[in-house]
Every structure is written in structure tokens, then in C-alpha cells.
Amino acid sequence: MRISINMAKPSKGASPALSHTSSSKAKAIVKKPNDYTSEGVVDNDVFLLPGTDYQIMGVLTLVAAVIRLFRIYQPSSVVFDEVHFGGFASKYIKGKFFMDVHPPLAKLLLTLAGYLAGFDGNFDFKDIGKDYLEPKVPYVAMRMLPATCGIMLAPVMFLTLKALGCRTMTATLGTSLIIFENGLLTQARLILLDSPLMIATAFTGLAFISFSNQHEQGPSKAFDPSWWFWLAMTGLGLGATVSIKWVGLFTIAWVGSVTLLQLWVLLGDVKTVTPRLFTKHLFARAFCLIVVPVAFYMAMFGIHFACLVNPGDGDGFMSSEFQATLNSKSMQDVPVDVAFGSKVSIRHHNTQGGYLHSHNLMYPMGSKQQQITLYPHKDENNAWRLENITQPLDANGQAINGSLAWDTISPPSYIMDGDTVKLYHTSTNRRLHSHDVRPPVTEADWQNEVSAYGYDGFEGDANDYFRVEIVKKMSDGEDAKDRVRTIQTKFKLVHVMTGCVLFSHKVKLPEWASEQQEVTCAKGGTLPNSIWYIEQNEHPQLGANAEKVNYRNPGFLGKFWELQQVMWRTNAGLVESHAWDSRPPSWPILARGINFWGKDHRQIYLIGNPVVWWSSTLAVAIFVIFKGFAVLRWQRGFKDYENPVFKRFDYEIGTSVLGWAFHYFPFYLMQRQLFLHHYFPALYFAVISLCQLYDHVTARIPGIGLRERPIIGRVGAVVFLAISVFAFTLYAPLAYGNPWTQSACNKVKILNGWDWDCNTFHTEYSQYSTKSIDPNQNVYKTSSPLLPSNAAAPPQAPAQKPLAEHISEVSAAVVSEKPLAPGHSIVSREEKVEYRDQDGNLLEPEQVMSLEGKVSFKTRYETRTRLVDAQGNEIAQPEDAGVAPPHPDVEGADPETLGVKDGGKGEPVVQKDVKADQSKEEKIGGADKEAKPASEGNEATA
Amino acid sequence: MATMKGAVASGADYAETARRRNVPSTSLNGALVDRVELDEEKTQIKKKQQSLLESLDEWEFIIAPLIFTILAFFTRLYKIGLSPIVTWDEAHFGKFGSHYLKREFYFDVHPPLGKMLVGLSGYLGGYNGSFEFKSGEKYPEELNYTVMRAFNAFFGAVCIPMAYYTAREMNFKRPAVWFVTLMVLCENSYTTISRFILLDSMLLCFTFTTVLCWARFHRLQNQSFSAEWFIWLALTGISIGCVTSVKWVGFFVTALVGLYTAEDLWRKFSDYKMPKVELATHVVSRVLGLIILPVLIYMLSFALHFAILENSGPGDAQMSSLFQANLRGTEVGKDSPLEIAYGSRATIKNMGYGGGLLHSHIQTYPDGSGQQQITCYHHKDANNEWWFYPNRNQPEYDAEAPIKYVADGDIIRFVHSQTGRNLHSHDVGAPITKSMKEVSCYGNTTVGDEKDHWKIEVVKDVVSRDRSKIRTLTTAFRIKHQILGCYLRAGNVNLPQWGFKQIEVTCDLANNPKDVYTHWNVEAHWNDKLPGADAGAYKSPFLQDFIHLNVAMMTSNNALVPDPDKQDDLASQWWQWPILNVGLRMCGWDDSIVKYFLLGNPLVYWGSTASLGVIAVMVAWYLVRWQRGYDDLKQADIDQIEFAGIYPVIGWFLHYMPFVAMARVTYVHHYYPALYFAILNFGFVVDWMLRGQKKKIQYASYGVLYATTIGLYIFFMPISWGMVGNNRQYDYLKWFTNWRVTDA
């Protein structure tokens, strides 16, 4: 064992060249260190490269620029997720608040590019294929930002490989592979986030690899300017990456785990690293790798909030406190005390559905009484007067009648915890009412319908009584825990007769209620969804000097944190399947791409360069197999790891493969829709691994003869590069949206999963020459690129009828409806919910009562599905006989599918109206082949 | 290390030797024995004679567990029949037990062993299976529920001696062994849950046996291939088989043993002096003992399950049509002609888990093609019936012509019996699963095109190799669309309200022959010209039923997600368990009902949870010291920390973390297996800390721990033995508002 006490560090200038020139010199450098210096490491500082390297890098950057910028104006219409990211630029310029699952950095930069080029935000990027030229959108300028990022990827890759100690030849090869990667090219030419993400990830990689190189050279380099520079750059890079997409978290995980390893090695160096020095190392890293990225990330949101000052379509996702910080959504101070006779608006606490609302429309089913909904906008129909259950007495002891009776009572009597109130809807003169009828949409047995009931002058019945129960732990302030105070007090409204609690959840009513949110009365609903508070409040006895209150300003941190949570929830909710999604196992083998755009017999389809893709995957696989054998041999006591070349091979490539793994495997855990472009960061690391493998085999590993004959390596690189470029040209028309022929297209379609449509192309190139001058020519409508996703759709403002109409209809309602006795349930028999246990046995109501709370009931559809199939005849719905007569079919027809009731014997029934079928069939041919953006306004990654 | 191992090798009395070496003073031990037993007010052994003490010391490994066991049986059985009503999940498991007695096929998410044992207990108690076990209902006279409960309590009680021996195998010192045993004995939640007709006491019992066998097996590692070694290996395997056959939670303890075995083999692999044959024998014996044997036991429990449940029952629908045809009293497969011919009318069932019958109704798709919907549905009605018709290129079906059977590879049309339309697909995305194609019902007998053509591809036939015919029930086939080349598929995706929440049917472009959701079979079949098949034609292979049932269990287990709108006062969340944040009311809270509340012993819960933090700090401390070059620990110490400290923590982790990730509704009793590992770890931490301390400190510490454990147990005894009368009387037990012992 050679142990050199003298820590001879390699001379700076000569290091990269020296290490490759001859084996004897390489051995001379390799000395076994006795501190935390890694054996066999030389200084690869990229600032000290020879001039020729910089020249080569410059040339490669130029090549990249040519490749990326070629016909960047093409296509001149909206492509794929430009729908979203272009749209966000418009919203930034207009200052309209929106919600997106991605952090803001890249979107802000895109906006900046558009803004500088004079974009005024008056283009909505609504559909794929929508023309840019006519409305004069500076889309080329906006595309220049991703393109610049894409171009910069080339020199960054070059420097990264040099920082890893690769030869210039290898670095050139790796850079060229990145330049001629069709997928990266496609992403870099469009207004998308992936190109900025890639450059940020790549820059972080460069910085961290350079830092690691400095660190591994041992104590002599620690805390040098170069060491500090690269550490700080790593932190900045991490901040930038995670501020573009949350995939940056994977980069953080990679840097973090390698840093922990480095710290562990540091800790083991008892000779040179004192506890004090170790602490210094620890804090330097904590500051640069935790504090800096977090500060950067939060600063981006600071800018985000500074830009978005107006209400927009993202409001519905945010809390009332948050919304109150937006212009024109903020409200005047409101009197804090609530008394009988107060005219209030009542807001739901947990969902952003809005205010307790009623309007002069009836439920089409159930009790057929007036609807109660949640409505997100301020409106006179949100106004309720809080009445006591007994009328107040005047000076003579006589009851004052009418709902305005409390206006004159002085001092006003506050509503205390436990008081029972009636809620009088001021614009329709009806009162909030509940009874034992199933709600219109949620047909759960434990929920009752809530309606508005009565008429002007009707004194109400006991089903109008609601008891106020203050939720003390959520109410703000001592007074607010005792009596109802505006905004501060959070309370439940318990229906006195049935014991159910006024409740709302994210369930929309159908068309007949303008898709407003359903309100029910629930027995045992979740607490957050049962909580209400008063937002608007007025009372004649509370003058101008009354104590006022307003929403608490959440402050930057409050807004920041709330937005993070909403982004996380929305992201996790993007589970709907998409026509072009793919799962992680298909990525490394490039099994499927994404259709981005198709128009004028041209197409843009995201597909990688198969040569680059497959060879990089192969490199990773080779390393994993190598590692497996190495570990087995190590456990069997072989001394492979005493060889510095072996050790460096294992560690250096291992670090890159770890980066690949961190950017790839977490996607397996995600349920949300995923796309091929999520693989790009992992691909970048895989390409680095490939280059390192190539460099080791051709220039570093002794004994196989390649290191001694560099010409073989060079020829190999050139050949491989040539193949890659050739493959690139084959698929380039799909990246650029260039003319192509059907035959050329079909020829290169190797895998079944590559589902671009060759039939859209012309058969001859000459057919293209006359076309594509007029951008509006031949535009056909793409089939609804905007797929509304449930998770993402904010509560829309439905059309609200003008107030006058409601009032005019009130009298009619009085005539048509007669009040019923208190507690009377109006249509108790109209439907009956059956309860069955998992075996399909019908449960008695008492049993159900006893089970309540212990088990969760599934919806009746699912339950029925389970029990019906047991014997088929068990579902005969005996109790419902009075309502729906039993079906004549022996086996009992499916009550939910109104099939033809007789027949089933003899020949099939011939239907006459099949003409419609035929016309429908003709219309839909190939409708599915259109490009679609990743998702509604919330295309997201991590 | 060597001497240590030598001591281990001597079998049952090694602990004696080891202990003696570690704790030289016998009088100390004697005194401790006395203390504990006085605490428990059980015996009055006087420390008069040295010889008596010595013999006590010598026989401690029998006397102490015996006393603990007696106490365990007392605490588990005392007043076990006090509450004569069906309590909590007795409603489920008692009912499942009844199904075994009535021999009716049922479906449940848990494997059958535990429920078969419940059935056995009912059998022993002379119960005939007629009671419905409705929650909260009073047990009838003829049902001897005390016997059934006592049977369960037995499993709970034998946990205590096993905890004792496990702690010994973990090389704890005697006071720590007692402490561990005492914690298991004086654990209110274990006591309470063992006293009812539930699976948890069995699950706990088999978890305990697995840990014991594994620990014993570990101590025998220097006597590889001895008879004793093999016995304990086999016992470990049997325990694993049993624990996984009770509940799938058992897989977590299996994973613990698996991790240990992997590490053990990995170490042996590094021993290059070991002959390769010996290494291979090690691997093979573990594969046999820890994989094959448990799998066989698991399968045996299902074989018994199928053998006992031979009548048709409420769970039929979860099984394949072929399985159903073999149940007594079923309609499936009755009188259906065996082979399908052109002109046959049939229902077509999807063979994936929960697969329904191919269905259509006059409602149309709201988007896409707008044609008539195709769904999969479990309910049996005439809308599920399809005619097998020749394709459009062939002559029209002639009812008078001789019978022509449908063969593998035939291209046919399916005509919906009720609407006369053809099963059809086209290049339109399916309504939900957008990456697949929509399937609709289109045209009629005359109107239509080649997109109505489907090719039958037989996957397999369980009774015959002849593929020239399609057989009712037994033939599994795929249905391939001729134009698109896609396969008819019904996954587990439900349509929205417009499709009545029935299952979406799609046409899958991926050609994956193994995807059972693309497999279909004929369930009911009518053809006047063909004779009915005899019952023997339908045989169901065990392995297929076994796999099908397991997939079904897995799918419905995952489907147990709570209603997000419903406040569930019984459910609790993972983070609440280790800090004993909540309890669980097991029955109604009326004054007339004997009330049971599921809550643990605070010292055991909080202490064990704290010990997890302590060991983490401890290990980190030793690791950092080691990396800095300090040699604090001998190899024996490291082994002790790893085996008795870290492995229980891993066990705790394995039993706890899945519930963190799980979306399904969780309850406090899901923590109980994890709690055992936390208890073992608590024992280790106490043992490790107090090992080298002065005797006085040891006396004092153990004294306080013993007294607190027992004191709290007795304090909270009413919640385990049943609270009679008004719940306000027990106000003193309600330390926190979440402990809903009383309504106040």
C-alpha cells in the first residue's frame, strides 16, 4: 500500500490533459490521501480549461443555436401547452390572479419576454391551432426564451462533462447528443416550461459537480473562492429549478443525498477536520443549499403576488382572507356585533363555494320548494335576516309582528351561543327550512334537503328553527366565543327538529340551479364543511360608530403558504386520464410521444431521438449491472475498491445514475397524469452517464487497450455521433413541423406506440409548395383541447337572474304552496334508501342507526352493484312497490336503465331511427387524433 | 462473542447462564421476584431460605411465565360475558363465523383462518349459525357467546408467556424481561380487544409467535442445521403462514423476518470460508421454511375455506361464473347449453375482479359518438343479453339451418337483444379512459358496417383443449375489434351519473393477453336447439379461484375509503395512535349498556413511543462516535443493539408506515401489532440504560416502572372489564377531551 504523507495536489493548469496522456503520469498523481481527499481526483475547474476547449464550446453553441432557431416562427399558431403558458403570460400582464400548479419563475420570464416584445395580453391562447399572426402576438419573442435556454444547454453540458474530467472529445460527443435530441429540441422551440427547467437543472448539475470536484480535492481547497462560488451557484440553481417546476425537488434530493455523503466522509476525517471545522462545513452547506434556495423560491412568489393584484379565475381556489387582498375584492369594514334583526350574508368556511344563497327557483324534485345554494359572488340574494323564534314585545307587552320588528329594539340583543334563530331570506320573503327529504344530488340518507319556504307574513314553522352553536376553538377572540360576531365567530347551524347541521360540500347542482354548490342538512357531516360565518352585517341600531371588523390580512407568508397547499392539492387531483399521457415504465424505452399540434398537413409530435434515448438507457443499465457485481464481489472480500480507477468509475458514474434515479423513480409514486416530457431531466443525467461510461472505457480504464489508442475512441465517437445526427434528421419534420411525406413518415415509424398520424402528410413534398402561405387557410377546428378537469375547475360564476324577476314571482309562489304543519315531512315516501351490509343483507333502520358512525356507507349505486349480483332476484325492491311497480321481468329489470321492457325472446328488435347513428358515425372519424394540452390550466409536474 | 455464542448454543438454559454471568448476585434476583409478586398480590413466597431462593432463581423461567399466564387468563377472562350484546366488529366476524357453520359462501377482505377459528369457537359452543349478529343486538339464549369470546381470549392470554420468552431470547436481563411481559399483560387495549369475538387477538397471537420463533431461530444461528434449528425455522414458517392467513397485516411481520433473513444470508455470503454447498443449503432451507411453508399454509386455509363453504351465499358474485356454477343452490350454469352456436343468446361476463356483465341500454353517450352506451353491470336483466350473429360478409343467420358452432378465430357480430343494435367500436376516445377507444351500440340488423365485426380469440378453456367451440363458463376468450385491432375491455372505472355509475367498457389498443379485464366468458346461455349441459361439465380449478379471490380481496380492501363528507367519530388517524390521542367506543353509550372503551395504558404507549426517539438518538450518537474513530462498543454490544433494538424498530416501522400511506379508513386497533414492537424496543432501551447502573438505581427505576404500569392498568381497568351504569361515574378516566370515556 502506498501512502504518501505529502499531500501533493496536482498542478492546476495541466491536470485534465495530464490525466489522460499516459498511464505512468496518471499513476504519479494518484496518491493515497490520509485526509478526506478522494483518491484519484484531479482539479477539473472549468475556469481553467485550455483555450481550445472554449473555442470548441463556442462552435457547439453556434450549432445549437442554428438547430434550435431554424424556422422558430413555425408553426404560427398555438401549439400544445402554449395554451396554458401563453395564457398565463396574458394574465400576468393583465394582473389577473390565476392558479397554476407550477411555481412562477419560468412563467414570469415568458411574460417578460412577451412584454418586452410589446405583447399587451389581449390574446387568450385558447385553442391549439389558434392563429398568432392575425392578432399580432409576439410569439417568436416568447419562444426565444425557451430557445435561448435550449441553446445554453449545450455549453452547460460541455462544461459539466469537462468538470467530470471527461476528455474534450467526450464532451463534444455529449453536447452534440443534447443538441441533436429531437425531444429537447421540440420543447425548446415552444412556449413551454420544460426548456427553462432543463437549463436550470443542468446548471445546478454543473455547479454541484464542480463543487464536488473542489470538495473532493481535500482540505487545501475548502473555503477557497472557487469552492464558495460553486456552492453558492448550486444553491441558486436549486432555487431556480424548484421555482420553475416542483420536479426541482428531485434535484434537491440528489444534491442533498450526495451532500450528506460528503459530510459523512468529512466526519470520518479525524486528522484534519476538527469539530469546529466540521461545523463550519455544515453551516456553509446549510446556508447555501437550504437558505438560499428557499429565499429564492419565496422571492419568486413575492414577484408573483406583486404582479397579480386583480381578481381573476384563480380566486375560487383561495380563502376569503386571500381573496380580500386582491383589488376590488377587498371589502369595507363591517360592524362586528350580530344581533336579532341583523341583515347578514353567511359564508361557508371550508369550501370556496361562497355565500348561503336562495333565489326564486324551485327544486325540480324532492319537496319542490325554493332552492338553497352556495353562490360565490356578492348578491342581494345572499342577504338573510336573523330572527328570534319569538317576536319582540313593545312597551305594552304586545308582540311586534313582521320581520323588521327587531330594528327598533334598543339596545339590540346579541345572538349568543346556543340561541335559536330563523333565517329570513329578505328578497323572496321565505325562511331557511329543512325536512326529511333527500337532497337533490347527494342521495345519502344522512343528509336532508334544505329549502326556502313560506311567504311574506307567514310566521314560519318549527322546521325553520336553527340553533347557533359556536365552534369555540376556531373563533377568534373571547367575545366571539360567547356570541356571534362578524367574521370572527365560526358557528354551526343545527336544525332543531331533526338535529342535522347545515352543510355544504363540493358538489354542484345541475343546470336547473345554474351549477351552484349544493347545500344540505347533514347528520354527522364533517366539521369543516358544517361551519359558517357571517361576512356582511348590518343592523339599524348599530350606527356608524359601532365596532368594525374586517378580514385579517394573511400577509406574505400566509398567502405563500396557502398557495403552496392549494397547488399541492390541485396537483394531486390531476388524475384524469389524458389522450396522450404515458406511464413511467414507457419512458426510458421511448414507447410513446405526445401529439402537440397538427394543421395544414403538418404535425408536431414530441418524440426523442431514439439513438440517444436507447443508448443512454443502456448506459444506465450497464452501470446498474456493474454495480450489482461490484457489490457482490465486495461482499465476498475482493479488493476491487482499492483500485482508484475502479473506485472513481463506481463513484462518478454512480453519482450521475443516482441523479437519473432521483429524477425518474419518484414518478412511479404519482397517480396524476404523466407525460413523456417528465423524463427529460432524467434523460439529461442518463446522457451524462453514457458519456462518462464512454470516457472511462476509451480513456481511463487501463488494460483493455483503448486508453493507449485514443484514435479508436475518437472514431467511435464520430461514428456514434453520425448515427445520432442521422436519426435526428429522420424525425426532424415532427419537431419543426416541416413538410414530410407519408412514405417517409411510415418508414421511420418503428414502434407501435409512436402514434403520430402519417396520413395527415401529403404524399409528395411538391404539394406543400403552394400551401401554408395564408395562415387562416385550411384551419379546421381541433376537438376541444381544453379538457376540463374536476380538480382544476374553479367555481364559475353562473348566470344570475336579475333581482326584479324574483320579486315579481313571489306572489305566485304564495298561492301555489300551502304551509304545512311543523315537522311534517313532505314527501317521505318518494324514495327509500336501502342499506345492506357487505353480504347484501338488507339492514333494518335500527341497525343502520346503530351502525352509524361505525362504518361508512357507500353510495347507493355502488352498494347496489354489490348486492344485486349475488342472486339477481334479491334486488326486487320490495319496499318501493308503492312508488314504482315491480318489473314484469322474472329477473327484475335494472331500475336504472330504461331498457325495452318486453322482448328478449325471438329475433332482435329492429330499431328504425338508425339514421342518426349513421350520421353520427360519419362525423366522428378520426376525431381522437387531435393534439390536446396537458390539462386544464394546470399542467403540472411534480 | 465466542463465549457468548457458546452459552447460547446450550439451548433452553443458556439464558440462565447468560444472566448469571451478567448479574452475579442471586439475592438481587430473588428480591426482585418477590417485589413483583407482592405488587401483584398473588403469592406469598417468603425469602427465608437461601436454598429456596436459589431454586426459585433456577426455575424462574417456568415460575415467572406461569404466574404471568395465570394473571393473563384472569384479566382476559374475568366477567367476559358481562355484556350480552353484539359489540363492535363482532357484528362482522361473528357473522362470518356463522357463514362457516351454515356453509354459505361469503366474501370478505380478510383471509379466512381467523374467521374459520371463530366458526370453530361457535361450533364448540354448540351454536348453529342462525344468529345474524346484528350490531348492538342481544345474543339469543341458545348462542353461548361466552364460549366464543373465551376462545378468542385464549389467543390474547397466551401472548403474555410468549412476550416473556421473546424478551428472554432478546437477551434482556431479568428485570427487563419482566418489564416487557408486564407491559403486554397490563396493556388495556390488548386486554379489551382480546375479550370479544374479533380477529385481533388471533392476529396479535400469531404476530407474537412469529417474533418468538424468529428470535429463537436467531439465537440458534451457531447451530445451523441442528434438529432444533430446523424445528424453529419451521415454526417460524408456520407462524408466518398463520399470521398472514388471519389478516394481511401479517405480511408486515413477514417482511421483518424477510429482511432479517436477507441480512443474515448477506453476511453468510461474505464468509468466503464457508463452503458453497453449505451456503446454498442455507438459502434453500430458508426458502423452504420461510417461503414455501407459509405459502402452503396460506393456501391450505383457502382450500379449507372453499371446502367448507359449499353452498351458494352472499359472496358468490365476487367469484368467477365458473366458481359460482359449482356452489350448491346457485342458478349460474343451470340448464345452460354447453357450447355456443350461431343464433345463441347469452350473457357475457368480464373475468377481471368485480367484472360485470356486458350491458347496453337505450341511453346514449353525452359526448364522443353520441351513440348508445355500452357498460358492464352486475345486475342481471334482459339488457345483458346478446345474440351471436354471423358477420356481414357471411350469409344472414338462418334459424332453420343446421347448428353451426362458434369457434376460436371466428369473426362475428354481437347483437343486443333488447335494442337490436350491434356492438360497435370506432376511432373515438372512450368517455373516461381517453387513451382507449369508445365502444357503443350501433345500427341494427341491416344498418351497420365492418366496425361491428369482432373476432373471438380463445385464451384458455379450463376443461378442454378443443378450441373449435366456445363453451359456457369454462372458455375464457378475448373479443378483438376487426378494424381497430383493439380488445374489448372493462376495467374498474365507473362512468359518471349519465352512465348510472356502471363500469366503463372500452376497446384497448394494447394487445396484452395477460390482462384479465379483456377476458370474457359466457355466463348464461339460451339456445332452444341445444340440450342443457350436465353439471359435471363445469369444474373450477382451485388455483384460479384462489388467485381470483385474493385479487378481489385486495381490490375491495383498497376500496374501503371513507366518505369524505362523513364525520367518523370512530376512525382515527395514524399520528394519533402512538401518542394515545384517541380511544374508541366499542358500543352504544347508554346507561343500560355495558360500555367498553378501547384505550391503551398511557405509560406503555407514551413510554414506548418515547423509546423510539431514544433509540434513534442513541444509534446516531454511536454512529457519529464510530465515524470519529471511537470504539465504544464491542461486537457483542453491536449485535445486541441490532437484534434487540433496531429490529423491533424496523418491525414497528413496517407495521406503522403502511397505515400512514394508506388511503383507507383507519382505526386505533390498526396500531396494536406495531405497539408490540414499540414495547420490545422500550424494553431494550430500559435494559440498555440500566444494565450498567448501580443496583440501587436499578431497583428504584424498575420499581417505579413496574408500579406505574400496574397502577395505571388497574386505574383504567373499567374500560376493559366493562363500565356499568351511567358513564358520568367514569369521569375520572377522561384525561383528555379526545378520550371520550364520558359524554361530558
Write down how long chain B is. 744
Q: In chain B, where are the structural domains located?
A: 321-558, 561-744
Which residues 6+ apart lie within 8 Å of A15 measured at CB?
Answer: A42, A43, A44, A48
Rounded Cα–Cα distance for residues B638 and B628 (Å): 17
Which band of pLDDT confidence, cut at 50, 70 and 90, is reported for residue A561?
very high
Question: Which DSSP helix (H) or strand (E) runs through A139?
Answer: helix A139-163
Cβ–Cβ gap A267/B624 under 8 Å: yes
Q: What residue in B sits closest to A637 (Cα-Cα)?
A: B270
Q: What is the mean pLDDT of residues B443-464?
A: 84
Give pLDDT tens digits for A752-788.
Answer: 888 888 888 888 888 887 544 444 444 443 333 333 3
Return the number of other C-beta atoms located less than 10 Å from residue B734's C-beta: 17
Amino acid residing at B343: G
Count how many Cα atoms sit within 13 Å of the Cα of residue A824 in the half-sphere of its side chain: 10
Cβ–Cβ gap A904/B415 under 8 Å: no
Assess contact for A757 and A931: CB atoms under 8 A.
no
* 3-state class percentages of chain B: helix first, strand second, coil last, to nearest 5: 50, 15, 35
Amino acid residing at A23: S
pLDDT of residue A934: 64
Which band of pLDDT confidence, cut at 50, 70 and 90, is reported for residue B710?
very high
Cβ–Cβ gap B565/A844 under 8 Å: no
Does the pLDDT value for residue A935 go beyond 70? no
Chain A interface mutation, best of B427, B439, B565, B598, highest count of A Cβ atoms under 10 Å: B565
Does the pLDDT value for residue B4 go beyond 80? no
Cβ–Cβ gap B362/A899 under 8 Å: yes
Q: Is the peptide bond before A819 cis (omega within 30 degrees of 0)?
A: no
Which band of pLDDT confidence, cut at 50, 70 and 90, is reported for residue A200?
very high
Give pLDDT tens digits for A708-754.
Answer: 888 999 999 999 999 999 999 999 999 998 999 999 998 898 888 88
Residue A719 grid coordinates: 461514428
In A, which residues are within 8 Å of B562 by CB distance?
A: 856
Q: What's CA B484's distance to the chain center, in Å?
A: 43
In B, which residues are within 8 Å of A504 by CB distance?
A: none
Exposed / middle / buried, residue B701 (Cβ in 10 Å: 0-12, 13-18, 19+): middle
What share of chain B has pLDDT > 70, as a percent?
92
Helices (H), ranges, A30-138: 51-69, 82-94, 105-116
Q: Would you list the DSSP string of A604-620?
A: EEE---HHHHHHHHHHH
Identify which of B455, B459, B461 has the alpha carbon closest to the alpha carbon of residue B515. B459
Cβ–Cβ gap B624/A865 under 8 Å: no
Q: Is domain B321-558 in CATH 2.80.10.50, yes or no?
A: yes
Helices (H), ranges, B59-112: 60-77, 90-102
- Give ∠ CA A918-A923-A926 in degrees, rounded to 5: 120
What's the mean per-residue pLDDT of chain A? 79
Buried residues in B347-372 as b, exposed as e (16+ CB within 10 A): bbbbbbbbbbbbbbbbbbbeebbbbb
Does the pLDDT value for residue A158 go beyond 50? yes
Give pLDDT tens digits for A796-824.
Answer: 333 332 232 232 333 333 222 333 333 33
Does the pLDDT value for residue B481 go beyond 70? yes
Q: What's CA B599's distance to the chain center, in Å?
A: 22
Count how many Cα atoms sit within 13 Å of the Cα of residue A551 in the half-sphere of its side chain: 20
pLDDT of residue B147: 93
Which residues 6+ apart lie within 8 Å of A245 measured at CB?
Answer: A102, A103, A106, A193, A197, A940, A941, A942
- Give ∠ CA A213-A215-A219 in degrees, rounded to 5: 135
In B, which residues are within 8 Å of A841 by CB distance?
A: 132, 314
Which band of pLDDT confidence, cut at 50, 70 and 90, is reported for residue A939?
very low
Question: Which DSSP helix (H) or strand (E) runs through A810?
Answer: helix A803-816
Give pLDDT tens digits for A373-400.
Answer: 998 888 888 999 998 888 887 777 777 7
pLDDT of residue B281: 94
Does the pLDDT value for residue A201 go beyond 90? yes
Task: Answer whether B447 touches A (CB < 8 Å).
Answer: yes
Rounded Cα–Cα distance for residues A115 and B721 (Å): 75
pLDDT of residue B632: 87
ipTM comes to 0.80
Q: What is the mean pLDDT of residues A341-346?
A: 91
Identify which of A724, A733, A734, A729 has the alpha carbon closest to the alpha carbon of residue A177. A724
pLDDT of residue A854: 52
Give pLDDT tens digits for B156-170.
Answer: 999 999 999 999 999
Identify which of B93, B128, B132, B135 has the alpha carbon closest to the alpha carbon of residue B114. B93
Q: Name the pairing type of β-strands A517-522 and A420-425.
A: unpaired
In B, which residues are within 8 Å of A888 by CB distance?
A: none
Phi, psi of A146 (to 5 degrees): -55, -35
In A, which residues are within 8 Å of B419 by CB distance?
A: 899-900, 909, 911
Does the pLDDT value for residue B568 go beyond 70? yes
Residue with cell 379483456: B518
Amino acid residing at B689: M
Q: How far apart are the first and last CA of chain A?
A: 48
Nearest CB neighbour to B428, from listed A864, A868, A928: A928
Q: Would you list the DSSP string of B272-324?
A: TTS-HHHHHHHHHHHIIIIIIHHHHHHHHHHHHHHHH--B--TTGGGS-HHHH
Phi, psi of A448 (to 5 degrees): -110, 155
Amino acid residing at A378: K
In B, which residues are within 8 Å of A632 by CB distance?
A: 269
Assess contact for A192 and A940: CB atoms under 8 A.
no
Does the pLDDT value for residue B286 go beyond 50? yes
Which band of pLDDT confidence, cut at 50, 70 and 90, is reported for residue B535?
low
Write down how long chain A is. 942
- Give ∠ CA B687-B691-B693 in degrees, rounded to 5: 130
The CA-atom distances, in angstroms, between B564 and each of A34, A526, A529, A589, B664 are 60, 8, 10, 39, 11
Give pLDDT tens digits for A292-318.
Answer: 999 999 999 999 999 999 988 888 888
Nearest CB neighbour to A908, from listed B132, B314, B417: B417
Residue B177 grid coordinates: 424481561
Identify which of A455, A449, A454, A419 has the alpha carbon closest to the alpha carbon of residue A434. A449
Residue with cell 390474547: B156
Assess contact for A102 and A319: CB atoms under 8 A.
no
Question: Which DSSP helix (H) or strand (E) runs through A362?
Answer: strand A355-362
Rounded Cα–Cα distance for residues A320 and A331 (Å): 11
Which band of pLDDT confidence, cut at 50, 70 and 90, is reported for residue B496?
confident
Q: What is the mean pLDDT of residues B355-371?
A: 86
Q: What's CA B432's distance to the chain center, in Å?
A: 32
Rounded Cα–Cα distance for residues A255 and A252 (Å): 5
Chain B interface mutation, best of A351, A492, A676, A838, highest count of B Cβ atoms under 10 Å: A838
Cβ–Cβ gap B501/A892 under 8 Å: no
Whether pTM exceeds 0.90: no
pLDDT of residue A920: 65
What's the mean per-residue pLDDT of chain B? 86
Which band of pLDDT confidence, cut at 50, 70 and 90, is reported for residue B260?
very high
Task: Answer whether B500 touches A (CB < 8 Å).
Answer: yes
Rounded Cα–Cα distance for residues A57 and A63 (Å): 10
Rounded Cα–Cα distance for residues B168 and B680 (Å): 11
A328: helix, coil or strand?
coil
What 8-state DSSP symbol labels residue A463? Answer: G
Chain B interface mutation, best of A909, A912, A932, highest count of B Cβ atoms under 10 Å: A909
Q: What is the mean pLDDT of residues B347-359?
A: 85
Rounded Cα–Cα distance for residues A667 and A675 (Å): 10
Cβ–Cβ gap A444/B565 under 8 Å: yes
Assess contact for B489 and B517: CB atoms under 8 A.
yes
Give pLDDT tens digits for B629-638.
Answer: 898 899 999 9
pLDDT of residue A839: 52
pLDDT of residue B664: 75
In B, which residues are within 8 Å of A897 by CB distance?
A: 359, 361-363, 377, 381, 383, 500
pLDDT of residue A478: 87
Nearest CB neighbour to B434, from listed A522, A577, A635: A577
Assess contact for B285 and B680: CB atoms under 8 A.
no
The CA-atom distances, in angstroms, between A456 and each of A393, A404, A803, A928 are 20, 12, 17, 56
Assess contact for B86 and B69: CB atoms under 8 A.
no
Which band of pLDDT confidence, cut at 50, 70 and 90, is reported for residue A513?
confident
B170: helix, coil or strand?
coil
In A, which residues are within 8 Å of B137 by CB distance?
A: 847
Min Cα distance B713 → chain A (Å) is 27
In B, which residues are within 8 Å of A920 by CB distance?
A: 369-371
Residue B357 grid coordinates: 356483465
Give pLDDT tens digits for A485-498.
Answer: 999 999 999 999 88
Mean pLDDT lowest among A187-201, A202-216, A888-902, B697-711: A888-902
The CA-atom distances, in angstroms, between B642 and each of A264, A819, B638, B646 are 21, 76, 6, 5
Residues facing residue A518 across a β-bridge: A373
Cβ–Cβ gap A524/B567 under 8 Å: yes
Residue B331 grid coordinates: 342458478
A27: helix, coil or strand?
helix
Q: Which has more pLDDT, A288 or B2?
A: A288
Q: What residue in A sits closest to B561 (Cα-Cα)?
A: A856
Rounded Cα–Cα distance for residues A936 and A934 (Å): 7
Which residues 6+ apart lie within 8 Å of A901 measured at CB?
Answer: A887, A888, A889, A893
In A, which residues are within 8 Å of B499 by CB distance?
A: none
Query: Number of Cβ pairs closer than 8 Å across A and B?
Result: 226
User: Computed from CA positions of residues B224, B228, B234, B235, in that sequence, does the dihedral angle turn out positive or negative?
Assistant: negative
Q: Which has more pLDDT, B579 or A333?
A: B579
Min Cα distance A764 → chain B (Å) is 26
Mean pLDDT lowest among A194-198, A211-215, B587-591, B667-671: B587-591
